């Protein structure tokens, strides 16, 4: 059925996630890049992948719709994974005129171009799936349920015996059973494939198997083209924000953003009202002010993105050079990806505890303050994660020096990789709690007209900016660390570097960020839900989408962004 075919695309997402999780290892082991250089490449990829969905959501709601965006992103996935496989040295060695071994001298310019093109396409594919997969599946579920209810009505009209009712009930049960079976089958197949790929040494196969799975998932998705429901774009609420800025800019001699709602006496009112880019409603202006007031709190999330960035880069590089044996079993690297995902789920679930805690201290306003408390607690977890990571790395460096491995970066450090578990757990809990708390905060405080489906993309977009900013933070910290003739903390290999000091730096920066967040959260003017509910019940919407008409005379004094 249509829903089952769409769910198969999860296969592509999880396989791509696995591929990117081991990408750091590929760049340092095969390309022999410096670990900070490799981390910069991965962080640029993740930063763009998380920042793009907000733009793509705007395109989906104004131009393409969910189906076409999902189709384009799936095609980009296929091409990206294919190019990634072809970028490995053995695949096109004869065509590129290079050797076929997994060595840096066998990676020519052609392979590099394919690799970077692949990352760009995979980023587009991942962003597209993040943007419209959930909405597309929801559309298919709604139409399926509508069809079932229609069939149920027809059956009741035509037949009244209980046997026909049983048939209807069976059809509903069979539909959901097939859907659940499809979902579980996809998940089981994905984890089986990941487990199998982990024990395959050639990188061409490590990338090739996920590429084949991605192509298969896309082909299965395409088999349902005739049965999917296509919903036309309905427009984006973000356009209203742009309209306020444009309308304000065209009236330079009036006050604040309220000038976007001023009716000019030199032109007829009806003529101005028709031009939505020159005249906005008071409601649209006030909603834009609300969004601008949220900018200070939003900016504190960028530093959180910097901390998130170390999980798929430096943590992975550390684990890859530790002892993977547990009794007689060699633990595969993706186990830590699973631990991280589980910890992230625990972090999301712990938000309920935060709500209960807020309810104990301020029962009447628990819903208002619980998201802020959750964000603050998550930042505390981030600080603990950085401190834990610094202490573990300091211990690892002690083992490296003890066994004389400073100049032997390719050898395993005789230290169990399970020392890394606490920081992976703390990082996952930090991200899970931060994400759900921030989304709840935005849902409570953002204007009602902004579709709630946009808010997760705003949140992960801010995290994406932080991940991009981590590239700059490493560069700046490295330059500062080498002042006075001292050694740069980021050398070519991990054993000769002082990443532990970078973790301590992140801990201090995160502590400062937490202090700023507390101050901003205290002075922030929280939206009163009760008041808004009363206004929504009592006010009538105008044809412009607001509850008030534009100003027709002198504008009242305002406090611009703070009013």
Do 249 and 318 lie in one domain? The reply is no
Res 232: pLDDT:
80
Q: Is residue 150 part of a domain?
A: yes
Higher pLDDT, 346 or 529: 346
pLDDT band at 260 (very low <50, low <70, confident <90, very high): low
- Which residues does residue 413 pair with via DSSP β-bridges, in sequence order? 322
**Averaged over 405-421, what is the pLDDT?**
89
Res 9: pLDDT:
82
- In the 8-state DSSP scheme, what is residue 561? G
pLDDT band at 468 (very low <50, low <70, confident <90, very high): very high
Res 194: pLDDT:
63
d(CA 168, CA 117): 50
- Its domain, for residue 550, covers 238-287+537-562
Do 360 and 499 lie in one domain? The reply is yes
- Contact partners, residue 175, CB within 8 Å, separation at least 6: 1, 144, 148
Tokens 């931060």 identify what position? 434
Of residues 33, 54, 219, the one with CA closest to residue 116: 33
d(CA 287, CA 310): 36
Do 267 and 308 lie in one domain? The reply is no
Q: Which two tokens stand for residue 488?
A: 């740069």
Do 150 and 186 lie in one domain? The reply is yes
Instruction: Using the 3D structure, point to which of 200, 227, 254 is the last residue of a domain.
Output: 227
Q: Which two tokens stand for residue 521?
A: 């959260």
Q: Is residue 514 part of a domain?
A: yes
Q: Is residue 528 part of a domain?
A: no
Res 542: pLDDT:
40
The pLDDT > 70 percentage for the chain reads 72
- Among the residue ranges 165-169, 211-215, 285-289, the one predicted with the least confidence is 165-169
pLDDT tens across 292-313, in order?
888 899 899 999 999 999 998 9
**Averaged over 483-506, what is the pLDDT?**
91
Cα distance between the two ends of the chain: 52
- Under DSSP, is residue 435 helix (H, G, I), strand (E, B) or coil? helix
pLDDT tens across 32-55, in order?
998 899 999 999 999 999 999 988
**DSSP string of 109-141?**
HHHHHHHHHHHHHHHHHHHHHHHHHHHHHHHHH
Do 202 and 308 lie in one domain? The reply is no
Higher pLDDT, 197 or 431: 431
* 254 pLDDT higher than 80: no
d(CA 238, CA 241): 5
Do 253 and 373 lie in one domain? The reply is no
Do 82 and 207 lie in one domain? The reply is yes
Q: Is residue 532 part of a domain?
A: no
The answer, as to whether pTM is greater than 0.85, is no
Do 176 and 260 lie in one domain? The reply is no
Q: Is residue 550 part of a domain?
A: yes
d(CA 462, CA 536): 30
- Under DSSP, is residue 417 helix (H, G, I), strand (E, B) or coil? helix
pLDDT band at 539 (very low <50, low <70, confident <90, very high): very low
Do 161 and 261 lie in one domain? The reply is no
Q: Is residue 531 part of a domain?
A: no
Tokens 């834990």 identify what position? 388
Tokens 């759900």 identify what position? 436
Instruction: Using the 3D structure, point to which of 179, 196, 227 is the last residue of a domain.
Output: 227
- Among the residue ranges 71-80, 238-247, 450-459, the one predicted with the least confidence is 238-247
Q: How many CB atoms lie within 10 A of CB 208?
A: 20
- Contact partners, residue 134, CB within 8 Å, separation at least 6: none
* 510 pLDDT higher than 90: yes
Instruction: Using the 3D structure, point to which of 227, 249, 272 is the last residue of a domain.
Output: 227
Res 192: pLDDT:
59
pLDDT band at 446 (very low <50, low <70, confident <90, very high): confident
Do 365 and 489 lie in one domain? The reply is yes
pLDDT tens across 180-237, in order?
444 445 555 555 556 666 667 788 888 888 888 889 888 988 888 887 777 788 777 7
Cα distances (angstroms) measured from residue 280 to each of 236, 250, 546, 549, 551: 16, 12, 9, 9, 9
Tokens 């490295």 identify what position? 478
Do 513 and 541 lie in one domain? The reply is no
Continuous segment of H or E residues that includes residue 52: helix 35-59
**Averaged over 525-531, what is the pLDDT?**
61
Query: How confident is the prediction for the chain on average, in pLDDT?
Result: 78
Continuous segment of H or E residues that includes residue 502: helix 499-523
Res 552: pLDDT:
40
Cα distances (angstroms) measured from residue 210 to each of 16, 170, 195, 203, 449: 7, 37, 12, 11, 40
Res 543: pLDDT:
38
Continuous segment of H or E residues that includes residue 503: helix 499-523
Q: Is residue 233 part of a domain?
A: no
Do 141 and 282 lie in one domain? The reply is no
d(CA 540, CA 536): 8
- In the 8-state DSSP scheme, what is residue 551? B
Cα distances (angstroms) measured from residue 477 to each of 36, 40, 307, 386, 482: 12, 14, 14, 15, 9
The total domain count for the chain is 3
- CATH number for the domain that contains residue 81: 1.20.1250.20
d(CA 468, CA 42): 10
Q: Is residue 95 part of a domain?
A: yes
């Amino acid at each position: 059925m249509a829903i089952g075919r769409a769910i198969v695309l999860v296969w592509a997402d999880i396989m791509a996630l696995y591929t990117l999780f081991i990408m750091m290892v590929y760049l340092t082991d095969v390309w022999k890049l410096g670990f900070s250089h490799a981390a910069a490449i991965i962080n640029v990829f993740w930063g763009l992948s998380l920042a793009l969905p907000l733009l793509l959501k705007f395109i989906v709601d104004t131009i393409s719709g969910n189906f076409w965006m999902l189709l384009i992103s799936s095609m980009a996935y296929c091409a990206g994974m294919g190019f990634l496989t072809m970028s490995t040295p053995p695949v096109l060695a004869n065509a590129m005129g290079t050797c076929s071994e997994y060595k840096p001298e066998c990676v020519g310019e052609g392979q590099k171009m394919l690799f970077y093109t692949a990352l760009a396409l995979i980023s587009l594919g991942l962003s597209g799936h993040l943007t419209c997969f959930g909405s597309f599946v929801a559309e298919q579920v709604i139409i399926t349920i509508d069809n079932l209810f229609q069939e149920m009505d027809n059956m009741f009209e035509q037949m009244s015996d209980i046997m026909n009712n049983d048939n209807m009930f069976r059809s509903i049960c069979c539909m959901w059973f097939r859907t659940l079976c499809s979902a579980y089958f996809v998940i089981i197949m994905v984890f089986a494939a990941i487990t199998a790929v982990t024990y395959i040494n050639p990188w061409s196969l490590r990338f090739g198997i996920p590429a084949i799975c991605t192509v298969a998932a896309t082909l299965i998705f395409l088999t349902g083209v005739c049965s999917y429901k296509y919903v036309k774009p309905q427009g984006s609420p973000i356009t209203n924000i742009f309209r306020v800025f444009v309308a304000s800019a065209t009236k330079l001699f009036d006050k604040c953003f309220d000038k976007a709602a001023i009716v000019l006496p030199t032109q007829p009112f009806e003529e101005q009202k028709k031009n939505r880019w020159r005249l906005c409603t008071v409601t649209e202006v006030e909603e834009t002010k609300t969004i601008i007031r949220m900018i200070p709190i939003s900016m504190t999330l960028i530093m959180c993105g910097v901390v998130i960035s170390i999980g798929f880069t430096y943590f992975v590089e550390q684990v890859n050079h530790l002892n993977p044996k547990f009794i007689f079993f060699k633990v595969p690297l993706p186990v830590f990806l699973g631990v991280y995902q589980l910890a992230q789920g625990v972090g999301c679930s712990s938000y309920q505890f935060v709500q209960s805690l807020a309810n104990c201290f301020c029962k009447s306003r628990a819903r208002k303050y619980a998201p802020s408390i959750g964000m603050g607690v998550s930042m505390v977890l981030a600080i603990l994660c950085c401190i834990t990571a610094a202490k573990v790395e300091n211990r690892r460096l002690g083992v490296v020096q003890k066994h004389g491995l400073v100049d032997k970066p390719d050898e395993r450090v005789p230290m169990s990789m399970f020392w890394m578990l606490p920081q992976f757990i703390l990082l996952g809990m930090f991200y899970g709690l931060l994400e759900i708390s921030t989304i709840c905060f935005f849902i409570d405080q953002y204007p009602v007209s902004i579709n709630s489906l946009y808010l997760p993309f705003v949140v992960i977009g801010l995290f994406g900016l932080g991940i991009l900013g981590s590239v700059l933070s490493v560069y700046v910290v490295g330059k500062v660390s080498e002042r006075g003739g001292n050694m740069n903390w980021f050398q070519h290999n991990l054993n000769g570097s002082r990443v532990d000091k970078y973790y301590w730096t992140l801990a201090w920066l995160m502590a400062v960020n937490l202090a700023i967040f507390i101050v901003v959260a205290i002075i922030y003017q929280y939206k009163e839900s009760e008041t808004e509910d009363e206004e929504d019940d009592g006010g009538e919407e105008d044809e412009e989408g607001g509850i008030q008409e534009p100003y027709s005379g002198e504008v009242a004094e305002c406090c611009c962004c703070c009013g």
